[in-house]
């Protein structure tokens, strides 16, 4: 069995999955696979995938499983994922989780952990409403909790900071409902397989990082 980190970050929109995945990627030398980032890039580039996905994303709905599963299967084969991977935003349905099991089996691998990041709804709405993302390098900011030095300008690359279209209030509500009905059942799916590690997602970014590292302690 291959060594390395092979984990899923599970949690509602705004739980801090992307923020923590970027850190874990550096800390463990693993690749980050964010299906949301891949889809947003496809939408921006107006590829066939992007054209098909944009309607779902703008309504806060999930993109159909078959589109997502193939995309992840291909991404996992890339060289930067050989030392390990962090799945950020995938799987999001039970069929996606079953497909992931199959994909990994064919690659001779299994997951070695699923981190469920728990954050109450009030905190989620606050985080999503203040989120800004760099159009250039994808860096994440928050207007109150992690503001850029200059208004709307990325500290790292000078790119423009924008608000995601699906961070409008009505879409946030739709995304939270989708999470509860379609994604939350994965908590039991992974608990039954003894893979689940729960992490309190309220606190500073550093606090949560430390909790995640502790929760992953015996994984690597």
Residue positions annotated with a catalytic role: 17, 92, 131, 164, 175
* Candidate list 145, 150, 180, 181; residue touching ligand AP5; CB under 6 A: 145
For residue 175, state whether it binds ligand AP5 (rule: CB under 6 A): yes
For residue 172, state whether it binds ligand AP5 (rule: CB under 6 A): no
With CA atoms as reference, report the closest residue to 65 among 86, 38, 91, 46.
Answer: 91
For residue 209, state whether it binds ligand AP5 (rule: CB under 6 A): no
- Comparing CB distances to ligand AP5, the nearer of 111 and 208 is 208
- Comparing CB distances to ligand AP5, the nearer of 15 and 76 is 15
Neighbours of 197 (CB within 10 A): 20
Q: How far is the CB of 135 from ligand AP5 (least distance, A)?
A: 15
Considering CB under 6 A, how many residues would be counted as binding ligand AP5?
A: 36
Half-sphere exposure of 175 (CA within 13 A, CB side): 25
For residue 211, state whether it binds ligand AP5 (rule: CB under 6 A): no
Q: Which segment (23-31, 101-109, 138-146, 191-199) binds ligand AP5 by CB under 6 A? A: 138-146
Residue in the block written with tokens 């309220």: 202
DSSP conformation class of 122? H
Neighbours of 165 (CB within 10 A): 12
For residue 57, state whether it binds ligand AP5 (rule: CB under 6 A): yes
Residue-wise DSSP of 3-56: -SEEEEEE--TTSSHHHHHHHHHHHHT-EEEEHHHHHHHHHHTT-HHHHHHHHH
Q: State the residues that interact with ligand AP5 by CB under 6 A.
A: 11, 13-19, 35-36, 39, 56-57, 60-63, 68, 89-90, 92, 96, 127, 130-131, 140-142, 145-146, 166, 175, 203-205, 208
């Amino acid at each position: 069995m291959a060594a390395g980190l092979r984990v899923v970050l599970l949690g509602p929109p705004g739980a801090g999955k992307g923020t923590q995945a970027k850190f874990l990627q550096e800390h463990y030398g693993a690749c980050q696979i964010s299906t949301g980032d891949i889809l947003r890039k496809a939408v921006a580039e107006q590829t066939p995938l992007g054209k098909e996905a944009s309607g779902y994303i703008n309504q806060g709905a999930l993109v159909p499983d078959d589109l997502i599963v193939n995309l992840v299967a291909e991404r996992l084969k890339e060289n930067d994922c050989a030392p390990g991977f962090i799945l950020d935003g995938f799987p999001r349905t039970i069929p996606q989780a079953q497909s992931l099991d199959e994909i990994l089996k064919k690659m001779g691998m299994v997951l070695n952990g699923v981190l469920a990041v728990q954050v109450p709804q009030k905190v989620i709405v606050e985080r999503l409403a203040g989120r800004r993302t760099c159009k250039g390098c994808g860096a994440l900011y928050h207007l109150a909790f992690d503001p850029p030095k200059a208004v709307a300008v990325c500290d790292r690359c000078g790119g423009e900071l924008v608000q995601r279209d699906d961070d409008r209030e009505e879409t946030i509500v739709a995304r939270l409902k989708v999470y509860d009905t379609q994604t939350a059942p994965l908590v039991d799916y992974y608990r039954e397989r003894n893979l689940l590690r729960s992490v309190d997602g309220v606190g500073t970014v550093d606090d949560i990082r430390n909790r995640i590292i502790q929760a992953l302690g015996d994984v690597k």
